[in-house]
Amino acid sequence: MKKFLSALAAVVTVLPLICVQKASAVSFPLKTTIQSESAIMINLDADTVIHEKNADSKQLPGPLVNIMTAVVCLENCQDLSEEITIDESVYSYLYDTEYIDDLRFADIYDGDVLTVSDLLYAMMLTSSIEAAETIAYHVSDGNTSEFVDMMNEKAAEIGLESTHFTNATGMYDPDQYTTARDMATLTQYALNVPLFETISTTFTYNPTVPNIDSHPNHDTWIWTHSNTMMDPESDYYYAGAKGIKTGNLELAGRNIVAMASRDGNNYLAVLMKSPINDADGNTTFYHLEDATALFDWAFTHFSYQVILADTAEVGELQVTLADGNDYVLARPKEDFTLLWYDEVDTSVIDKSRITWYKNTLEAPVEKGEPLGELSIVYSGEVLGTVEVVAVSGVKRSESKYNLYVAKLFPKSRWFNKALLISCLLCAIYIIVCIYSYVVFKSKAKPLKPIYAVPKVDKKKKSKKKRSSSNNE
pLDDT tens track for 264-286:
999 999 999 999 999 999 999 99
DSSP letters, 386-413, are EEEEESS-BPBPHHHHHHHHHHHGGGSH
Q: State the average pLDDT for the chain.
A: 88
Residue 331 predicted with pLDDT over 50? yes
The strand pair at 327-332 and 381-390 is best described as antiparallel
How far is it, in rounded angstroms, from Cα 344 to Cα 230?
A: 32
CA separation for the pair 75, 261 (Å, rounded): 27
The predicted-structure confidence for 363-405, as pLDDT tens digits, reads as follows: 999 999 999 999 999 988 899 999 999 999 999 888 777 776 6
The residue that leads in pLDDT, 286 or 21, is 286
Torsion of CA 380, 384, 390, 391, to 10 degrees: -90
CA atoms of 371 and 34, how far apart (whole Å): 45
- Please check the confidence at residue 160 and state whether its pLDDT lies above 80: yes
Vertex 432 angle, CA 427 and 435, to 5°: 125
Maximum Cα–Cα distance across the chain: 182
Contact 369/343 with Cβ under 8 angstroms?
no
Per-residue CA distances from 58 to 54, 400, 414 (Å): 9, 66, 67
- How far apart CA 254 and CA 271 sit, in angstroms, is 8
Mean pLDDT of 72-84: 97
Q: Tell me the C-alpha distance between 149 and 140, whole Å.
A: 10
d(CA 104, CA 65): 14
